[in-house]
Structure 1
């Protein structure tokens, strides 16, 4: 039970970091392209598609946020996958 809460808190923290890094990248792209910054960019199909495109890491690099982007992506993946793996290993061990 406690382990599940710890994983939930870690996943929530990783999600917030992931959002904040993407938000700063969106802000930088808007500044460079002279677009208005959309506060609700997470609801925009354009920005959702652009964040999934391969050039998003290029945008992160241009904004000086490549390593935070990589770290936030790794953290959210680990916080999502590790609880499943630990549950499987725990079930296998008995």
Structure 2
């Protein structure tokens, strides 16, 4: 039970870091392209598509956020994979 709560908190922290880095990238793109910054960019199909395409890491690099973007992405992946692996190990006999 406690282990599950710890994984949940870690996933929440990694998700928040991931969102904040993406938010700063969107802000930088809007500043560079002279667009208005949309407060609800996470609900916009345009921004969802733009974050999926391969140029998002290039945008992160232009914003000076490449290392935080990679770290936040790695944190999400590590916590996700780690929690699944720990669940599998906990349920193994012996």
TM-score with structure 2 setting the length: 0.97
Q: Tell me the equivalent position of 1:78.
A: 78
How many residue pairs get aligned? The number is 94
Shift of 1:90: 2.0
Shift of 1:78: 1.1
Q: Tell me the equivalent position of 1:90.
A: 90
Distance in 1 between the 2:83 and 2:25 partners? Answer: 29
- Name the Cα RMSD after superposition: 0.8
Distance in 2 between the 1:68 and 1:34 partners? Answer: 24
Consecutive unaligned residues in structure 1, runs of 5 or more: none
Structure 1 outlier segments of 4+, above 6 Å: none
Secondary structure, counterpart of 2:26 in structure 1: helix
- The superposition leaves residues 31-86 of structure 1 with CA deviations (integer Å, 9 ceiling, x where unpaired) of 00000000000000000000011000000000000000000000011111111111
Mapped pair 1:47 → 2:47: yes
